[in-house]
Amino acid sequence: MARNVKVIINGTVHIAEVRCFARLVIKAAGYFSDDDDDDEDTPGHLQFDDIALVMLYSHPHPHLLDNSYGVLASCTKLGEASLQVVKISSIQAVVAMVPHHPVVNGVPEDRYFLVEKTGMEIAHFGMEENNDE
């Protein structure tokens, strides 16, 4: 099952499919040593950086988005050329990208539509809201 996320890349919101998560071991910021014999495994010299390899989706199709009054964000997968490494902290939310096959300009396309809020709110679907409880 694909893990899709909303992520901030260079200040812009993107939807992406996570390919893998990883933890990198890097030299701590501000640590510099010219000594080749210096033990880099000593505490304080190393830190962890948690990252994800993601493949981006396109921006939503503008015609479908406009005609649906901003409801149908329909995207395509951009493929391996769009692979990016992002910090885990840049992930804003987990989202669903549901396959659908709209006819755009007379041609059926394989696309995915964005569902941002999947979760507990569906448990109350069809129930009357009672503010007294």
Whether the Cβ atoms of residue 93 and residue 14 lie closer than 8 Å to each other: no
pTM for this predicted structure = 0.73
HEC-encoded secondary structure of 79-129: CHHHCEEEEHHHEEEEEEEEEECCEECCEECCEEEEECCCCHHHHHCCCCC
- Using one digit for the tens of pLDDT, what is the confidence trace for 37-86? 555 555 667 888 999 999 999 999 999 999 999 999 999 999 999 999 99
Break the chain into its structural domains and give their ranges: 3-26+47-124
- Using one digit for the tens of pLDDT, what is the confidence trace for 111-132? 999 998 755 555 555 656 555 5
- The answer to whether residue 23 scores a pLDDT higher than 60 is yes
> What span, in angstroms and rounded, lies between the C-alpha atoms of 97 and 77?
10
Give 46's contacts (C-beta < 8 A, 6+ positions apart).
25, 26, 27, 28, 40
